[in-house]
Amino acid sequence: MNTKELDTKYVLPTYARADVEFVSGDNARLVDADGKKYIDFTSGIAVCSVGHANKRVNNAICKQIANITHISNLYYTAPQAKAAQKIVEASGYDMKCFFGNSGAEANEGAIKIARKFGENDGEVKRYKIITLQHSFHGRTITTVKATGQASMHNYFGPFPDGFVYADNIAQIESLLDNHTCAVMIELVQGEGGVQPLEKQAVQDLAKLLKSKNILLIVDEVQTGVYRMGEFLASNLYEITPDVITLAKGLGGGVPIGVVMTGLKDIFNAGDHGSTFGGNYLSATAACEVVDILSEMHASGVLAKNIAYFDSELEKFYSAHKDIFTSKVGIGMMCGLRVKDAKTLADLITNARAEGVMVLKAGRDTLRLLPALTITKEEIDEGFISLERAVSSL
């Protein structure tokens, strides 16, 4: 049986997979099982931040696993300690890290921090966490309930109590009460349509929560690790959250999740844990990814890559305003609003046929999440393919 047949027979059908199988990659280039070549504007949904088959990451991983891959968190692990140092120093915040394996796990950790903070602080037990409509925080029972999309809450109840959804950031203040322990937001909503929050509104919210001793949790699973041009979107918004979550681009393709917090003494031994989190493999990958992107940021190369991609996206958008209604996003987390759902679906299918990989976000947004290491030549090739995709609509 071929891969598709094996998948159909043995894998649960939780994904509406495109009919393509990739077998190799090089930075922003992919090759499928039939030998067809593509430019990748998705980077595995913002995961392959330093491109496919990055030699520095591969070499670091190979060197590490030749010695030891896993030992558990019952012992000290040098790559984990080094990764934590690199993450904290790159963030500019005075925090500590907990390592897991995914964004959902990182957000679970953030929720547990908030709930323990609510239990320990003050006479009234605080447990409510406010999130935004159109948010996305994960697929576990708790994080799916934290997600402000009613369609995500089908089938899997009863859910944990205590999540309240604001229609927008302006409504959050009216929802705060004596039982609120935290507010959890994405600064740019990914699944919600690549929608950035307004900077002043976020800063005002951060000040309000600080005055009320309510935690601000920022989910940076997709926005973090230089995707916005700075290490964190929080840096760009000039706020200091109490808790931040990371995943996706941090491991360059290796599963990893991190919750970092300024509440350095919130957890005691046994309060939280992960068998695989921050092991030699994932932490080594994270160290190299942060080094690569920190160097690109310091040298100005990252800013140039972002500026060039944005300029080409602007040209593409301006040339096709009959299809696109607006351009959204920040840095290398970009989107184009499409006039209707059918056009968006057809465009994604046509793009794949023309050799460029793109994504959908929300109901009407074409989402672009290229590797941060993407080259000018790869960008040019990708937009040439997108032009062909539009012309064949």
pLDDT in tens, 28-63: 999 999 999 999 999 999 999 999 999 999 999 999
What mean pLDDT, rounded, does the chain reach? 96
- State the average pLDDT over residues 261-278: 96
pLDDT at 362 over 90: no
* Span 208-228, pLDDT tens digits: 999 999 999 999 999 999 999
- State the average pLDDT over residues 168-184: 96
pLDDT of res. 227:
98
Q: Who's near 35: CB < 8 A, 6+ residues apart?
A: none
Q: Give the separation between CA 110 and CA 104, rounded to whole angstroms.
A: 10
Residues in a beta bridge with 333: 330
Contact 146, 137 (CB under 8 A): yes
Q: Who's near 129: CB < 8 A, 6+ residues apart?
A: 111, 114, 146, 162, 163, 164, 180, 181, 182, 183, 184, 217
* Nearest Cα to Cα of residue 285 among 99, 109, 138: 99
Report the interhelical angle of 341-353 vs 376-391 (nearest 10°): 120
pLDDT of res. 192:
83
pLDDT of res. 125:
86
pLDDT at 121 over 70: no
Q: Give the separation between CA 311 and CA 190, rounded to whole angstroms.
A: 21
pLDDT at 124 over 70: no
Percent of the chain with pLDDT over 70: 99
pLDDT at 143 over 90: yes
- Count CA atoms within 13 Å of residue 30 on its CB side: 24
Radius of gyration of the chain (CA): 21
In the sheet with 128-132, reading across from the earlier edge strand, the strands are 96-100, 257-261, 243-246, 215-219, 180-185, 128-132, 163-166
Q: Give the separation between CA 182 and CA 176, rounded to whole angstroms.
A: 9
- The predicted model scores a pTM of 0.96
Q: Give the separation between CA 323 and CA 390, rounded to whole angstroms.
A: 9
Contact 84, 96 (CB under 8 A): yes
Both tokens assigned to 259: 């919750």
**Dihedral sign, CA of 181, 187, 191, 192?**
positive
Report the interhelical angle of 280-299 vs 301-319 (nearest 10°): 80
Contact 371, 47 (CB under 8 A): no
**Residue 11: CB atoms within 10 Å:** 10
* Span 177-205, pLDDT tens digits: 999 999 999 999 988 889 999 999 999 99
* Span 72-107, pLDDT tens digits: 999 999 999 999 999 999 999 999 999 999 999 999
pLDDT of res. 122:
56
pLDDT band at 363 (very low <50, low <70, confident <90, very high): confident
Contact 296, 302 (CB under 8 A): yes
Both tokens assigned to 289: 């990814």
pLDDT of res. 315:
97
What domains does the chain contain, in order, with CATH numbers? 3-54+299-391 (3.90.1150.10), 57-298 (3.40.640.10)
* Nearest Cα to Cα of residue 247 among 92, 138, 365: 138
Q: Who's near 199: CB < 8 A, 6+ residues apart?
A: 237, 238
pLDDT band at 392 (very low <50, low <70, confident <90, very high): confident
- State the average pLDDT over residues 167-185: 96
